[in-house]
Amino acid sequence: EIVLTQSPATLSLSPGDRATLSCRASQSVGTFLAWYQQKPGQAPRLLIYDASNRATGIPARFSGSGSGTDFTLTISSLEPEDFAVYYCQQRNNWPPLFAFGPGTKVESK
């Protein structure tokens, strides 16, 4: 069973800053990794899938990279609406178990 860890737990930044979020898998997941954004009181929203593909309608300031066990979500220049919690997620090939990381909160400094 693959376990995901995320760092840091909290990132305190200002609008316009660059945000770099990390997700590490306990074993290789290839590029089968997704990132989600969640704001208070809302359901998560898909940002990135297959490690680096932006979902429909996601601004270009969001980018993903990585493969194997180490992945990064980068927000090139934070907008006020980007302050939220970000989760990575993957699925085992077999058994087909899904898992989320513990999340990184991006908060306003």
Partner 1 sequence: QVTLKESGPVRVKPTETLTLTCTVSEISPTNTRMGVSWIRQSPGKALEWLAHIFSNDEKSYNTSLQSRLTISTDTSGSQVVLVMTNLDPVDTATYYCARVITGAPYVFGVWGQGTLVTVSS
Using CB under 8 A, list all residues that contact partner 1: 1, 32, 34, 36, 38, 43-46, 49-50, 55, 87, 89-91, 95-103
CB of 81 to partner 1, least distance (A): 18
Nearer Cβ to partner 1 (65/77): 65
Q: E strands of the chain, at which residues? A: 4-7, 10-13, 19-25, 33-38, 45-49, 53-54, 62-67, 70-75, 85-91, 98-100, 104-108
CB of 44 to partner 1, least distance (A): 6
Nearer Cβ to partner 1 (17/24): 24
- Distance from C-alpha of 95 to C-alpha of 81, rounded to nearest angstrom: 37
Nearer Cβ to partner 1 (17/38): 38
Nearer Cβ to partner 1 (14/43): 43
CB of 96 to partner 1, least distance (A): 5
Cis preceding-peptide flag for 59 (omega within 30 of 0): no
- Distance from C-alpha of 52 to C-alpha of 71, rounded to nearest angstrom: 9
